[in-house]
Amino acid sequence: MSISLGELAQPKLIYKGAEAEIYLETWHSEFVIRKTRVAKPYRVPELDEAIRRSRTAHEATMMQEVRKLGVPVPVIQDIDPDTWTLRMEYIRGPTLKEELFKLPAGKQRLRCRDLGGIIAIMHDGGIVHGDLTISNVISENGKLFIIDFGLGDFSKEIEDKGVDLLLLNRVFKSTHYVFHAALFKAFLEGYAKSVGKRKCDETVAKMHEIQRRGRYFERG
């Protein structure tokens, strides 16, 4: 996306997600992303405001902490829990969801392997994402940035790491039903390479355990 500063007198709505509106705006003469969590008519106001406030502050904390581990995330520039708003660095690139299937098969697996490596570092550092999908990954010329930590948490529990893997595997299965096995395998290769096969196997085993806990799981 090439936008010159002059064209951005007004904030530009670039994405309307499920819980927040994402604007591109100039702030202290720099491009920034403004993420504002909007009120949801389907929640009673007490609940709604508490959720938006805590997720806004929490997301900023998580992004700072994740950054310390060396995981690429946009730099947080401003936090305002009273207006449920975060400002952060603008990463120029498509989401992995938009990019992945325009790539040749080898590159697809490479991206998934890279993602696996990054997520493993994060997990090993005691942080889980909580909403891991390929639309929450931005690819800037092949360098992957993780975004949207609103549901993230500090956790060394394998349980929570297993949930991350479960969610990602579900996204692969539901969206890319032909290639999902190869993509998830590549993801796990990257994961194992980063933190070792033992930790990777443990997390995968937990993922299967969580799956079995749900309803209607047929063995075999």
Partner 1 sequence: MRTIRYSVRNATTSVKPTRSPTQANFRDVFLTRRPNCNRTLLHCLGIESTAHTFGAGVVSDEGRILSDARDMYASTPGTGIHPREAAEHHSEVAARVVSSALTKAGVKASELSGVAIALGPGLGPCLRVGATVARALSVYYKAPLIGVNHAIGHIEIGTLTTGAKDPLVVLVSGGHTAIAAFSGGRWRIFGETEDITIGNLYDMFAREIDLPSPAGPEIERLASKTSEFLPLPYVVKGNDVSYSGLLTASLSRLRSGAKLEDVCYSMQEVSCSMLAEAVERSLAYTAKKELLLTGGVAANKILQRKLQEVALLHDAAFHVVQGPYTGDNGPQIAWTGMLALRAGLVTAISEARVRPKWRLEDVDIPWRIGTA
Active site residues: 131
Torsion of CA 175, 75, 196, 162, to 10 degrees: -50
Nearer to partner 1 by Cβ, of 75 and 105: the residue is: 105
Taking the complex as a whole, the smallest distance from the CB of residue 97 to partner 1 amounts, in Å, to 8
Number of other residues whose CB lies within 10 A of the CB of residue 191: 29
- Whole-number Cα distances in Å, 204 to 158, 161, 164: 9, 9, 10
C-alpha to C-alpha distance for 6 and 209, rounded to whole angstroms: 54
CB of residue 27 vs partner 1: minimum separation in angstroms? 25
* Closer residue to partner 1, CB minimum distance, 8 or 210: 210
Nearer to partner 1 among residue 58 and residue 193 (C-beta): 58
- Please state the closest distance from residue 55 (CB atom) to partner 1, in A: 10
| Identity of the residue, 16 or 28, whose beta carbon is nearer to partner 1 in the bound complex | 16
Which tokens in the block code for residue 109?
A: 């697996």
Q: Applying CB under 8 A, which residues contact partner 1?
A: 16-19, 40-44, 46-47, 50-51, 130-133, 135, 151, 163, 167, 170, 173-175, 177-178, 210, 213-218
Minimum distance from residue 198 beta carbon to partner 1 (Å): 25
CA-based angle 212:163:97, to the nearest 5?
A: 115
The dihedral formed by the CA atoms of 160, 163, 164 and 166, expressed in degrees to the nearest 10: 160
Cα pseudo-dihedral 168, 20, 76, 156, rounded to 10: -40
